[in-house]
Structure 1
Amino acid sequence: MVKSTRLALAVLVGLFAAPAFAEDVPTLTIYTYDGFAAEWGPGPGLKAGFEATCGCVVEWVAADSSIGTLRRVQLEGDTTEADIIVGLDTAISGEARATGLFADHGLDLSGLKLPEPWTDAQFVPFDYAHFAFVYDTDTVATPPTSFEELIALPDNFKIVVQDPRSATPGLGLVLWIAAAYGDRAPEIWAGLKPHILTVTREWSESYNLFLEGEADMALSYSTSPAYHIIAEGDDTIHAAMFEEGHLAQTEVAGILKSSEHQELARQFLAYLASVDGQKVIPSTNWMFPVVDLGADIDPAFATLPQPEKTLVLSDEEIAANSQRWIDEMLAAVQ
């Protein structure tokens, strides 16, 4: 009888203690795009690595794109459950900053390795690559080396690109052409029109069309070939280097001012940009890390060509002109 009473009391204590313990463990809610949170993406590894030291739970909430994460937070405003957004990029970080929803990160990022020095007070970079068209050497022996050379090819040479209103690579292409050609951008788009097989909503749709042989080249990243080399043992996929230079995409993360876990969020961003966090990125998100990983990065990344020239647009230029550049693109290709 005594043993039964003690057992019953122990069970009751456990039942009452469990919720209290659960409440003591904070949940860090992070909005990101679906590929980042997927089981094959960097999300699971980053979650496991940070949870091992933070005394918290990381919860990923995925949208169909990084632009979608920003739109969701804009709609939710101060009521958002998100503590952090991971996966915005430098093409839309200016727009994100202008919402007033993001807090300063307060981190020293002077030791990062990027195409340009990093000085942003609100967004922390975690990977980068240059926008590029990829091709298969089995079907394209001599790729074009510029947009103008691409335009001069026969009309049956097809490319697939993404919609700049829904996909960050699509927006990146608009900015790339604007940075390279300025006022001549509408002329370049008009020349590209006969070559565009389709404009897809998301990157994955167009890349699959390319892999299925429906198009000769797809808009992607200079690091995309690393996936095929490492994951598939296939070295036939290459990125074409263009003489006019390439625009870099740097992906970033930012803390929402409305977060109740400001310090924990800063700790996560510090981890994301640390060597331990960065080890997860290259072979899951297939981008370059923002720190020097030395022997901890697959040697395939060292074989990837880098553009001789990196094109740059300021936040102010993007904010002032991106809608006009998008409209010019849509008017030219539709």
Structure 2
Amino acid sequence: MVKSSSLALAVLIAGFSGSAIAQGKPTLTIYTYDGCASEWGPGEPLKDGFEATCNCTVNWVAADSSIGTLRKVQLEGESTEADMILGLDTAIAGEARATGLFADHGLALSDLALPGEWTDAQFVPFDYSHFAFMHDTDTMPVPPASFEELIALPDDIKIAIQDPRSATPGLGLMLWVKAAYGERAPEIWAGLKPHILTITREWSESYALFLDGEADMVLSYTTSPAYHIFDEDDHTIKAAMFSEGHFPQIEVAGILKSSDQQDLARDFLAYLTSVEGQKVIPTTNWMFPVVDLGTELDASFEGLPQPDKTLTLEESEIIANSPAWIEEMLAAVQ
């Protein structure tokens, strides 16, 4: 009886101690898009790598898109459980910044390998690529080399693109055309209209149409061929390089002011932009890392074409004009 009581007391004390330890272990909650948090995305290896350096737990919360993560935080406001968002990009960073919900990251980011200098005080980049149209060399050996060449193709050549209101690639395409053609953008959209098979809500839907042969080309990234080389040993999927230049997507992460784990969040951002963290990105998110990995960058990325010209728009211009530019695009293609 005494032994049983002592054992019960020991179990109770051990259980209490374990609970106390668990309660003392902070959790970093990160809102992201579903591709990042999926079993094949960068979320799990980033979680494992960071948890190995801290006495903490990383909790991913996935939305259907990076735009969806921002909308979720906007709705939740200061009551959000999120400590940070990972997966916004520079096309919507200005809108995110304008909410006033994000804190300065306080990191020195002078040695990044990006198309241009990085000076953003709130958002930290973790990967990048340029938007491009994919084609299959088996069915389209010679792709168009500009938007105007694409427009000039027979109308039965079809492309799949994404909605700029729900998918960052769709928003990127809208900005790409505007950056390349300015006031001529409606003319370009009207010319593209006969070629548009469909405008999907998300990237995965349109890419599936391309892989199934229903679309001849699909809006994606200059780095997308690396996946096919790495995973399938397929070298037939290529990015068509356009003479106008290409618009970049730089994905970013930011800390929320409402977070009670801001130091931990900064530690995560430091890990994310370290060589160890960046090793995860290329073969899980299929984008270029933001630091020079040298020989540690997978061979599937070797020889991928880079645009001769990177097109840009000022953040203030994007914030002021995006709604009107989206309406301009949709009015021309629908």
In the other structure, the counterpart of 1:70 is: 70
1:168-209 deviations in whole A, cap 9, x for unaligned? Answer: 000000000000000000000000000000000000000000
Residue 215 of structure 2: aligned partner: 215
Structure 2 spans left out of the alignment, 5+ residues: none
Matched, 1:58 2:58: yes
Q: Which residue of 2 aligns with 1:263?
A: 263
Structure 1 stretches lacking a partner, 5+ long: none
User: Which consecutive segments of 4 or more residues in structure 1 shift more than 4 A?
Assistant: none
Rounded to whole Å, the distance in 1 between the matches of 2:285 and 2:16 is 42
How far the C-alpha of 1:18 sits from its partner, in A, is 2.1
Structure 1 residue 2 displacement after superposition: 4.4
Amino acid across the alignment from 1:160: A
- Measure the CA separation in 1 of the matches of 2:300 and 2:116: 23
| Distance in 2 of aligned mates of 1:163 and 1:311 | 21
Does the alignment pair 1:80 with 2:80?
A: yes
1:116 equivalent in structure 2? 116
CA distance in structure 1 between the aligned counterparts of 2:297 and 2:45, rounded to whole angstroms: 15
Instruction: Please tell me whether the aligned partners of residues 227 and 300 of structure 2 are also in contact (alpha carbons under 8 angstroms).
Output: no
Pairing 1:199–2:199 present = yes
In structure 2, what is the Cα distance between the partners aligned to 1:300 and 1:209?
A: 24
For residue 53 of structure 1, give the secondary structure of its aligned residue in structure 2. Answer: coil
Match of 1:43 in 2: 43
Deviations 1:302-332 (A, max 9, x none): 2100000000111111011111110011000
Equivalent-residue separation in structure 2 for 1:315 and 1:273 (angstroms): 23
- Corresponding letter in the other structure for 1:296: E
1:99, 1:237 → 2: CA distance?
40
- Percent of aligned pairs sharing the same letter: 75
Q: Which digits, 9 at most, give the CA deviation of each residue in 1:114-147, with x for residues without a partner?
A: 0011000000000000000000001001100000
Q: Report the RMSD for the aligned CA atoms in angstroms.
A: 0.7
Give, as a single letter, the amino acid of the residue that structure 2 aligns with 1:45. P
Contact 2:114 2:290 in 1 (8 A): yes
Correspondence 1:122-271 to 2 at 5 A = 122-271=122-271
Q: What is the number of equivalent residue pairs in this alignment?
A: 334
Which deviations, in whole Å up to 9, do the C-alpha atoms of 1:45-81 show, x marking residues without a partner? Answer: 0000000111000000000000000000000000000
What TM-score results when the alignment is normalised by the length of structure 2? 0.99
TM-score, length-scaled by structure 1: 0.99
Q: Deviations over 1:226-260 (max 9, x none)?
A: 00000111000000000000000000000000000
Tell me by how many angstroms 1:6 deviates: 2.7
Contact 2:67/2:166 (<8 A) preserved:
yes
Q: Which amino acid in structure 2 is aligned with residue 144 of structure 1?
A: P
